[in-house]
C-alpha cells in the first residue's frame, strides 16, 4: 500500500532504486529514431530512474551479448553504418539507457486475425522477461517502445487511485495500472473476458515481473480457428480471430490462472468466468485515464476520438464507478443498457439491408457537407455585397451616416466595454459573413 503522501512517494521514486522503466519492442531502421526520442524523453522525465531498453528483435543494431542478454559495444549492422541519422539515434539510446538488452529464443506466429499482421506475442514475452529480470527499482513501468507519457502526471493519478478498497483474494500485492485501450468490456461489442490491455504496466516490480512469468503461445492455439468453428452466437468482431485466446488474454489469464485455479477460459469468448473477470479487473488493476495522464501513441491516435471506445472498452470513469459498488453486484445487470446499444450496433453492421442503409445515410451526410463547403464562399460573397449596399447612404440621406470605426480586432484588444445603455438597448444582428450590425431601439 502507498502509505505516504503523494509528494513523498514521488520523491522516493526519484531516488536511485526507486523506479525502473523497461521499454520493450523491436528495433528496425524505420523506428530507431522514434525509439531514441522516447528513451531520451524518459531520461528527461526521470533523471535518476533505471532505464532499460529490451529489444525483441533487430536488424539494425549489433553488439556483444552476455549471458544476461545485455549488449555492450553497440554499433550499427554493417549495411546501416553509412547512415548518419541511425548512428545519431543509436548514440542517443546509449546515452539515455542504463542497459540495452537483446532477448532471444522466440519467433513470430501466424496472424492473430484473418489478415496479414504477424502475431508477436512470444517475442513480447521474451523481451518483457529479459527486461524485467534486470529491473532493480521498487516500482517498474513496463511500456511498449512506441508509447510514452507526456509528463509525470500518471504518478499522481496512480497515487490517488491505487489504494481504493479491494476485496480479496488478490493476485497482486498492489494494483497495477493498465491502459483503457484495449481493456475490453466483456458484455458489449467484443465479449472477451480477461482481455486486459498490455500496452503498459505500472506498479510494484515484483507484481509486474510475476505477470510476465508465463509460457509461450503454442502454434495450435495461434491457429485454433483454422480447425474449429467459432462458438454459436459469436458476433462479427468475435469471428475475426484465428487464435484460441487473444494476445492480451494469454498474458493476463496465464498469470491469473496460477493464482485462481477455478477460473476458466477455454476459448476467446468463453463467458464462464466473465463476472469473475470484471471483479479481478476492479480489485487488482487500475484503468488509466488516458487523457489526464497524457498518453501519446501515434499508431492508435484515432482511438482517442473513436465514438465506440467507451462502449467497447472499460474507461477510468466506468472503472471508478464499479469499484464503489457492492461485492454482490452482478455486472451483466450493470451493463444491460450498454449491451443493448452494442446489439443495435452489431445489428446494423451485420444485417445486409441495414448496413446498406447506414452507408447510404453516411454518404448523404458526406455529400451534403461537401456541397456546403462548395457554396460557403458564394454565400459569404453575397452576404458581404449585401452589407456594403446597406452601408452606402443615398444622396442627401444623413440617417445612415456613421463615424469610422477601428477594426474589430483593434476594438477587442484596446477599446473598453461600452457603458450600459439607459434610454435604449443595443441590438446586435450577425450576418452570415460573421460581420455585426448594430442598431438602437427605444426601450419598451
> Which pLDDT value is given to residue 409?
43
The answer to whether residue 340 scores a pLDDT higher than 70 is yes
> Which pLDDT value is given to residue 375?
78
Q: How many angstroms separate the Cα of 118 from the Cα of each of 72, 109, 207, 312, 402?
A: 30, 6, 29, 23, 72
The grid cell for 44 is 528527461
Nearest to 25 by CA among 102, 77, 87, 94: 102
User: Tell me: the pLDDT tens digits for 399-425?
Assistant: 444 445 444 444 444 444 444 444 444
> Which pLDDT value is given to residue 386?
64
Q: What is the rounded distance in angstroms from the CA atom of residue 188 to the CA atom of residue 343? A: 8
Q: How many CA atoms lie within 13 A of 211 on its CB side?
A: 33
The answer to whether residue 441 scores a pLDDT higher than 60 is no
The answer to whether residue 358 scores a pLDDT higher than 70 is no
User: Tell me: the pLDDT tens digits for 25-68?
Assistant: 999 999 999 999 999 999 999 999 999 999 999 999 999 999 99
On whether both 253 and 343 belong to a single domain, the answer is: no
Residue 384 belongs to some domain of the structure: no
* % of the chain beyond a pLDDT of 70: 83
> What value does the mean pLDDT take over residues 383-398?
58
Q: Given pLDDT bands bounded at 50, 70 and 90, which one contains residue 363? A: confident
Q: Is 429 helix (H, G, I), strand (E, B) or coil?
A: strand
Residue 349 belongs to some domain of the structure: yes
Q: Is 20 helix (H, G, I), strand (E, B) or coil?
A: strand
On whether both 271 and 218 belong to a single domain, the answer is: yes
> What value does the mean pLDDT take over residues 91-96?
98
On whether both 313 and 344 belong to a single domain, the answer is: no
On whether both 228 and 370 belong to a single domain, the answer is: no
> Which pLDDT value is given to residue 407?
46
The whole domain housing 351 covers: 339-375
> What value does the mean pLDDT take over residues 114-122?
91
Residue 437 belongs to some domain of the structure: no
> Which pLDDT value is given to residue 142?
98
On whether both 297 and 357 belong to a single domain, the answer is: no
On whether both 343 and 317 belong to a single domain, the answer is: no
> Which pLDDT value is given to residue 283?
97
The answer to whether residue 79 scores a pLDDT higher than 70 is yes
> Which pLDDT value is given to residue 366?
77
Contact 6, 157 (CB under 8 A): no
Q: What is the mean pLDDT of the chain?
A: 87
On whether both 362 and 295 belong to a single domain, the answer is: no
On whether both 317 and 370 belong to a single domain, the answer is: no
On whether both 135 and 22 belong to a single domain, the answer is: yes
The grid cell for 106 is 522466440
Q: What is the rounded distance in angstroms from the CA atom of residue 348 to the CA atom of residue 69? A: 51
Q: How many angstroms separate the Cα of 94 from the Cα of each of 14, 18, 27, 76, 87?
A: 21, 21, 14, 12, 11
Domain end call among 318, 338, 358: 338
Task: Find the length of the chain.
Answer: 444
Residue 16 belongs to some domain of the structure: yes
> What value does the mean pLDDT take over residues 152-169?
95
> Which pLDDT value is given to residue 264?
98
Q: Given pLDDT bands bounded at 50, 70 and 90, which one contains residue 434? A: very low
- Please tell me the total count of domains within the chain: 2
User: Tell me: the pLDDT tens digits for 177-203?
Assistant: 999 999 999 999 999 999 999 999 999
> Which pLDDT value is given to residue 174?
97
On whether both 215 and 354 belong to a single domain, the answer is: no
Q: What is the rounded distance in angstroms from the CA atom of residue 399 to the CA atom of residue 81? A: 80
Q: What is the rounded distance in angstroms from the CA atom of residue 103 to the CA atom of residue 106? A: 8
Q: Given pLDDT bands bounded at 50, 70 and 90, which one contains residue 147? A: very high
Q: Given pLDDT bands bounded at 50, 70 and 90, which one contains residue 388? A: low
**DSSP letter (8 states) at residue 99:** E
> Which pLDDT value is given to residue 405?
47
On whether both 228 and 371 belong to a single domain, the answer is: no
Residue 283 belongs to some domain of the structure: yes
Residue 388 belongs to some domain of the structure: no
390 or 218, which is more confident?
218
Residue 140 belongs to some domain of the structure: yes
> Which pLDDT value is given to residue 412?
43
Please state, as a whole number, how many other Cβ atoms lie within 10 Å of the Cβ of residue 11. 12
> Which pLDDT value is given to residue 117?
87
> Which pLDDT value is given to residue 126?
97
> What value does the mean pLDDT take over residues 74-93?
95
On whether both 133 and 197 belong to a single domain, the answer is: yes
> What value does the mean pLDDT take over residues 287-307?
94
Domain end call among 315, 338, 361: 338
The answer to whether residue 92 scores a pLDDT higher than 90 is yes
For 178-195, the DSSP string reads E-STT-B-TTSSS--TT-
User: Tell me: the pLDDT tens digits for 148-158?
Assistant: 999 999 999 99
> Which pLDDT value is given to residue 32?
97
Contact 157, 141 (CB under 8 A): no
Helices assigned H by DSSP within 223-335: 247-259, 274-284, 309-312, 316-323, 331-334
Q: How many CA atoms lie within 13 A of 48 on its CB side?
A: 10
Domain end call among 282, 317, 338: 338
Amino acid at each position: 500500500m502507498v502509505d505516504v503522501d503523494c509528494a513523498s512517494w514521488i520523491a522516493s521514486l526519484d531516488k536511485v532504486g526507486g523506479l525502473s522503466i523497461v521499454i520493450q519492442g523491436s528495433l528496425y531502421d524505420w523506428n530507431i529514431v522514434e525509439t531514441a526520442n522516447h528513451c531520451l524523453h524518459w531520461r528527461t522525465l526521470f533523471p535518476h530512474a533505471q532505464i532499460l531498453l529490451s529489444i525483441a528483435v533487430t536488424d539494425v543494431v549489433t553488439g556483444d551479448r552476455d549471458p544476461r542478454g545485455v549488449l555492450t559495444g553497440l554499433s550499427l549492422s554493417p549495411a546501416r553504418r553509412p547512415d548518419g541519422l541511425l548512428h545519431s539515434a543509436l548514440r542517443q539510446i546509449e546515452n539515455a539507457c542504463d542497459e540495452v538488452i537483446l532477448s532471444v529464443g522466440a519467433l513470430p506466429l501466424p496472424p492473430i486475425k484473418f489478415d496479414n499482421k504477424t502475431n508477436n506475442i512470444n517475442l513480447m514475452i521474451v523481451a518483457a522477461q529479459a527486461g524485467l529480470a534486470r529491473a532493480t527499482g521498487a516500482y517498474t513501468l513496463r511500456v511498449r517502445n512506441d508509447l510514452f507519457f507526456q509528463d509525470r502526471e500518471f504518478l499522481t493519478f496512480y497515487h490517488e487511485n491505487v489504494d481504493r478498497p479491494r476485496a480479496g483474494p488478490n493476485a497482486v500485492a498492489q494494483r497495477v495500472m493498465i491502459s483503457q485501450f484495449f481493456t475490453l468490456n466483456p458484455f458489449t461489442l467484443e465479449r472477451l473476458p480477461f482481455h486486459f490491455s498490455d500496452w503498459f504496466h505500472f506498479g510494484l516490480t515484483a507484481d509486474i515481473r510475476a505477470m510476465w512469468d508465463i509460457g509461450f503461445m503454442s502454434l495450435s492455439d495461434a491457429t485454433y480457428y483454422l480447425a474449429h468453428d467459432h462458438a454459436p452466437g459469436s458476433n462479427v468482431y468475435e469471428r475475426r480471430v484465428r487464435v484460441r485466446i487473444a494476445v492480451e488474454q494469454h498474458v493476463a489469464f496465464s498469470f491469473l490462472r496460477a493464482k485462481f485455479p477455478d477460473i476458466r477460459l477455454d476459448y476467446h469468448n468463453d463467458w464462464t468466468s466473465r463476472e469473475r473477470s470484471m471483479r479481478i479487473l476492479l480489485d487488482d488493476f487500475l484503468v488509466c485515464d488516458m487523457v489526464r495522464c497524457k498518453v501519446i501513441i501515434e499508431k492508435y491516435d484515432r482511438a482517442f476520438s473513436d465514438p465506440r471506445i467507451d462502449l467497447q472498452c472499460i474507461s477510468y470513469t466506468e472503472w471508478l464507478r464499479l469499484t464503489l459498488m457492492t461485492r454482490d453486484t452482478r455486472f451483466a445487470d450493470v451493463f444491460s443498457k450498454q449491451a443493448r446499444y452494442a446489439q443495435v450496433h452489431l445489428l446494423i453492421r451485420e444485417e445486409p439491408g441495414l448496413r446498406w442503409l447506414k452507408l447510404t445515410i453516411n454518404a448523404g451526410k458526406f455529400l451534403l457537407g461537401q456541397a456546403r463547403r462548395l457554396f460557403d464562399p458564394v454565400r459569404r460573397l453575397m452576404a458581404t455585397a449585401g452589407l456594403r449596399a446597406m452601408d452606402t447612404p443615398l444622396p442627401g440621406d444623413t440617417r445612415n451616416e456613421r463615424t469610422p470605426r477601428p477594426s474589430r480586432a483593434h476594438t477587442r484588444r484596446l477599446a473598453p466595454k461600452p457603458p450600459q445603455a439607459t434610454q435604449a438597448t443595443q441590438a446586435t444582428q450577425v450576418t452570415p459573413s460573421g460581420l455585426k450590425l448594430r442598431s438602437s431601439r427605444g426601450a419598451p
